[in-house]
Every structure is written in C-alpha cells, then in structure tokens.
Structure 1
Amino acid sequence: MIHKEGFSFLICSLIFVLISFFISIFLFSILINLFISFFLITLYSFFLFFFRNPKRNFSYNENEVISPADGKILEIKSVFENEYLKKDCICISIFMSPFNVHVNRFPVSGIITYVRYHPGKYWFAWNKKASFQNERTTTVVETKEKQKILFRQIAGFLARRIIIYAKKNFLAKKGEEFGFIKFGSRVDIYLPLKSIIIIKKGEKVIGGKTIISIIQ
C-alpha cells in the first residue's frame, strides 16, 4: 500500500519519467535508450518503495513504549530536555535511512499536550547538532498514568519536508500515525529516567511494533 503523502509526488515523478522516456527515443540510440529506460524505471521503483505503508497489527500493554519509527538505534543516553519537560530524561535516537518505512507512529497513548514545529538547518541526521539546529517538530503525550513522553521528528540532510498530524488536546492512540518525513531522517524519544530500556544501540526497530521501553 502506498502512503497518502506519496500520491502527488509519484504522479509528478511518473509524468517526468514518461516525458524523459519519449524525448530520449528521438534523441539517442537504442543502446542509450535502454540505459536511460533502466535508470528511470529503477528510480521510479525506488520512489514506490520509499512511500510504501505496510499494514501492521497492533496489540500492546499500557506501560509499553513502542518505537515511533522504523530504523536503527543511533544512541541511548541521559540528557536534559530543555524545550518542554525541563528535566533529565533517557533519549533514544532512531535513524531512518531512505530504505526504511518513513511513517511515524505514536509510541504511547494519551492526551497530546504540546505540538510545535521548528524551522532549521539540514545537518546529517546522526550529527549531534541535528537535535537542536535542524528542522524538527516536538510532540508531547501525557499518558493515563500522568507520564509525559516527548518525541521529536528531525529532518536530515536529504529530508526536506516534515509532515505532522498530531494536534494539541487531541487523543493519541499508540501505533497510529502522527507524521511522515520525506527521505532520510531521525526520531528522538525522551523517556523518564526510571524507564526500563529493552533495546540497545545498533539494534533495528520497527515502528508501531518493536517495544523499546517499559515505563515504571
């Protein structure tokens, strides 16, 4: 299944591919045309692959925190969160390569208490500067147990558009989509210090499926 964020991009890309193909027929030899056709088909196939939105079934316990994104655990560290929580937290950074599914999902259920978009730069997503200098969004969900969980979409070098669906005072349901980032990026999630972390650095995670922590 193709994600809704990809529809307009894929239509425009298909038009570009078809125009390029027909122009090349009149300008180049058969051999060059075969090469161009192979390149265009490969490129468009990648776009289809990138905007995929696989169907996933969800079943969780209330105190489980799930991964908000597909990708690789870049870092797990204790940091001071100074935008909203104003306290020390465990920050888990997930790097999303262009080959990962780029749908972002709520890691917990609860009431959305804070949503903010920050314009910024486009450092590589694994750069430490990316957390506070890159284009990003910040969302906070307050759980039934009054725990506030903050998570942040961070644009990378290739990512030039962050989409966020979360709205303040609305209900967040664990596993449902809260956003999408186009072409390579990162998601950070800030958890209470007493949380039990059940993943490790370098591990691959699946958004909406992998349990990354248990909140005590």
Structure 2
Amino acid sequence: MTLHKEGKATILIALTGVVAIYIILRYFLPENDIIHVLWLLASLVIMGLVLQFFRKPSRSLVQNENQILAPADGKVVVIEEIVETEYFNGPRRQISIFMSPVNVHINFNPISGVVKYFKYHPGKYLVAWHPKSSTDNERSTIVVEHKSGKEILFRQVAGALARRLCWYVEEGKAVEQGTEFGFIKFGSRIDIYLPLDAKIHCKIDDKTVGGQTLVAEW
C-alpha cells in the first residue's frame, strides 16, 4: 500500500500544522509536560487519519468486457430507474455508491471504452445522501462508450466535506476498466447511469470495492 499523489499537499500542510503547534506549546508552556504529551498523541491521531484518507491499496486488475465494475469503495445507497437529463435525456438505471471518510477515495473506470463526454459543474455542497446532491452539488459527469456501442454515464458528486474533485479523463481518449479516472477528497458519492436492460448484480447496502466488485453486466 502506498499514498496517493492527491494527498501530498494535504499531508504536508497537516504535518506542518501539528509541528508548528507543538513548537508554540513548547515556547509558551515549556514546563507543562502533560500538554506536550497530549498534543503529541493528538498529532499521531490527526496524521493517522490524514494518511488513511490518501492510502492507495495494491489491487489486481481483472478486466471483463461484459461486466460493469464498481467505480469506488463504499456502500450502495441507491438503485432506481430515473430520467437522466444531462446527456441521455431518457430513462436509465441509477446506482449510487456512498464513500465515507474511511473508504479509499480513488475512483475507478467501471468499463473500458472511449470518453464521449465530460463536463465539470460547480455547485452546492449538500450532504451526499441528499436527494438533490446529484443535480445541485459540485460534480463531474463522464460518459464512456463501450466497444459494443453502449454507453454509461458516471458522475463524481461532492458532499458536505468533499471540497475537491479530481479527474484524469479527456474527451476522445480511451480508458481501461479498473484503472483510475479520478479522486474525491474526503469521500462523497459516485452515481452510475446504466441502460435499462443491464442486469444488476448489487443491492442496497452492499459494500463495494472499486475496480473489483461486479455491480452490473450487459
């Protein structure tokens, strides 16, 4: 397991902050060993939390052109038929995966194909489980066309804590199933919009592993 590149700045800021506070405490309270020990313990907890936010586990890549894999670690919170209005303008099957602060925050391509559409939307920071978070929150929308001609849309949705979306895709470029397409700092959710005839292989409250868990197939 290693640390993700998106965490470098945050880890440096956190480390600088805890060290600076310790120096201040040593300067103004030089004899108060209890305070010094308590802050050292708190610093270990803080740095441990920050490091686990940006962990990058080693995972084997197994591709299957008929399968749609989970784009993120987390829990399935929505499976429903909706009308998708940004790209398809028609009915699709939506699967939403909620990423908590303790999940891995890397996002993985659910299928291989070519990026046909990408758009970033500034927006609000409603809690990730709010019904309007998929349409009102800061988000990025990506559509990938499979070699069969079928398309799926997946959307990074920021939440109340997630204040930065990162993506590594570009319209017209090919992506491979199971590889990284982005990162959401401090959790949130990923929505996937599938054709109605896709066979769903997950249910509400299922735990997913990004790039490995089968959520649907066609």
Structure-1-length-normalised TM-score: 0.98
- 8 A contact 1:72–1:202 mirrored in 2: yes
- C-alpha distance in 1 between matches for 2:57 and 2:204: 25
Give the letter aligned to residue 19 of structure 2: L
CA–CA distance in structure 2, aligned partners of residues 100 and 60 of structure 1? 23
Matches within 5 A, 1:1-216: 1-28=2-29, 29-215=32-218
**Structure 1 CA distance, aligned partners of 2:193 and 2:161?**
24
Alpha-carbon distance, 1:7 to partner: 0.8
Instruction: Quote the RMSD (CA, aligned, Å).
Output: 0.8
Alpha-carbon shift at residue 109 of structure 1 (Å): 0.5
TM-superposition CA deviations, 1:100-132 (whole Å, max 9, x none): 000001000001000000000000000011010
Q: Distance in 2 between matches of 1:113 and 1:145?
A: 14
Residues 134-159 of structure 1 deviation map (CA, whole Å, 9 limit, x = unaligned): 00000000001101100000000000
Percentage identity across paired residues of the two chains = 44
- Give unmatched runs, 5+ long, in structure 1: none
TM-superposed CA distance for 1:26, in Å, is 2.5
1:27 positional shift: 2.6
Contact 1:103 1:179 in 2 (8 A): yes
- The alpha carbon displacement at 1:211 in A equals 0.7
Instruction: Provide Cα deviations, 1:85-111, integer angstroms capped at 9, x if missing partner.
Output: 111111000000000000001000001
Gaps of 5+ in 2: none
Aligned equivalents of 2:195, 2:49: Cα separation in 1: 38
Asked if structure 1 preserves the Cα contact closer than 8 Å seen for 2:54 and 2:105, the reply is yes
CA contact under 8 A between 2:63 and 2:178: conserved in structure 1? no
Say if 2:199 and 2:216, in contact at 8 Å, map to a contact too: yes
- Distance apart, 1:184 and its partner CA: 2.0
Aligned length: 215
In structure 2, what residue type is equivalent to 1:206? V
Deviations 1:4-56 (A, max 9, x none): 00011111211111111121123331112211111111011110111001111
Structure 1: 4+ residue segments shifted above 3 A:
none
For 1:44 and 1:61, how far apart are their aligned partners in 2? 38
